[in-house]
Structure 1
């Protein structure tokens, strides 16, 4: 990445902000359902991992001498803190907490799917994939987390042979299976809201010889 601010840096910064927006909605949703107990969980995790980004333009807060490192650090903080908050909530509220978190993820995806749909014309599977990437954190652009394996208008497949999130989930001691489910729930709901003619699906497949990874599909119903 460049030492100078470019559109890609603002694009990534916005995705971090969206991730933190979802975290705030999680806190608000659990506070509404269970009261102020969530406040101490939120406070403890902010103290442990770091606070959310301030409501300031990127150019006012980024370390311009270390743009790449600054953004990577903010991704790490945001992902680990949110996962840790969820780990506490799942431990405290068990299945009811999981269901509530899933509902919050769905509502967030519906909200952003509707916003992304405004003024949008016909969309191909590849268009939808590109729009998803404006919202979902998948590391730094140079990480190349996803590789498109097929793009045919009404179908796009992409593989993911390594997970950039697992280190954050392991550190926060949250069940990765729950996090994968929440993540796929968000993407599936977003796709369905953005264009109800399309569907998102993810499965574990052998994608590189005998090595297993995730195969994602966006396709017309």
Structure 2
């Protein structure tokens, strides 16, 4: 593995940062609703790893193992957030899910606003912009496969769910994550370019579970 950081490493690290920021906003909003969350949050952060310090990537990363370091950070942030949400839902019920939905939608709008002025006029450009924010494993995982695209729509499928193992490791339900993820993407797309919308569905084909994603006018 190269000991030199490149744009792709910063790109991936920024997506991890987005995931962690979403967690921080969720905790803040749950507290504002009056929920007691500190004990669960602290326990899960002690068990699965704390937030990444707010310093530059160059000050943090193991340059002898860039790929491994980034992959481990993805494992930590996904497992920790799955644990926090799952344990808080066990403790406080569906109010936690309702707040989490609102947070993911809010974050989608926030980042959609960031790209809104970039003259994103077609579906492939929206898909490219989205992938600067949504965390879908390492680039080498190649989890998403674009199967259709033109200016007005783009369809991508995923057969391998990279998030399931993180949720199952903490006795959580990965469908919760897909509900939150759908809210994020919906709001990102509609904010970035209101002519487009996003749909998500799960299909079966020859025994395979296919997660179908569509951005279209």
TM-score scaled by structure 2? 0.96
Distance 2:135 2:207 in 1: 27
Distance 2:162 2:94 in 1: 26
CA displacement at 1:137 relative to structure 2: 0.4
1:124-176 Cα deviation digits (max 9, x unpaired): 10000011100010000000010000111101000100100101011122212
State the partner residue of 2:73: 74
State the partner residue of 1:90: 89
State the partner residue of 1:52: 51
Counting matched residue pairs gives 217
Distance 1:95 1:47 in 2: 25
1:159-207 Cα deviation digits (max 9, x unpaired): 1001001010111222122111111111111111111110101111245
State the partner residue of 1:192: 190
The change in CA–CA distance for 1:2 and 1:157 in structure 2 (over 3 A counts) is farther
CA displacement at 1:2 relative to structure 2: 3.4
Unaligned runs of 5+ in 1: none
CA displacement at 1:122 relative to structure 2: 4.1
1:38 maps onto 2:37 in alignment: yes
Q: 1:204 aligns with which of 197, 202, 205?
A: 202
In terms of mean alpha carbon deviation, does 1-10 or 126-135 score higher? 1-10
CA displacement at 1:3 relative to structure 2: 3.2
State the partner residue of 2:161: 163
Specify the SS of the correspondent of 1:34: coil
Distance 1:80 1:212 in 2: 22
Q: 1:213 aligns with which of 197, 210, 215?
A: 210
Distance 1:8 1:101 in 2: 29
1:87-135 Cα deviation digits (max 9, x unpaired): 0121122122211111111111111111221x22142100000111000
State the partner residue of 2:100: 101
1:3-47 Cα deviation digits (max 9, x unpaired): 321000000000001100000001101111124x21111111110
In terms of mean alpha carbon deviation, does 91-100 or 182-191 score higher? 91-100
Q: 2:134 aligns with which of 133, 136, 152?
A: 136
CA displacement at 1:210 relative to structure 2: 4.1
Point out 4+ residue stretches in structure 1 off by more than 6 angstroms.
Answer: none
CA RMSD between the two structures: 1.2
Distance 2:129 2:87 in 1: 31
Unaligned runs of 5+ in 2: none
Distance 1:174 1:111 in 2: 27
TM-score scaled by structure 1? 0.94
1:58-110 Cα deviation digits (max 9, x unpaired): 01110000000000000000000011000012112212221111111111111
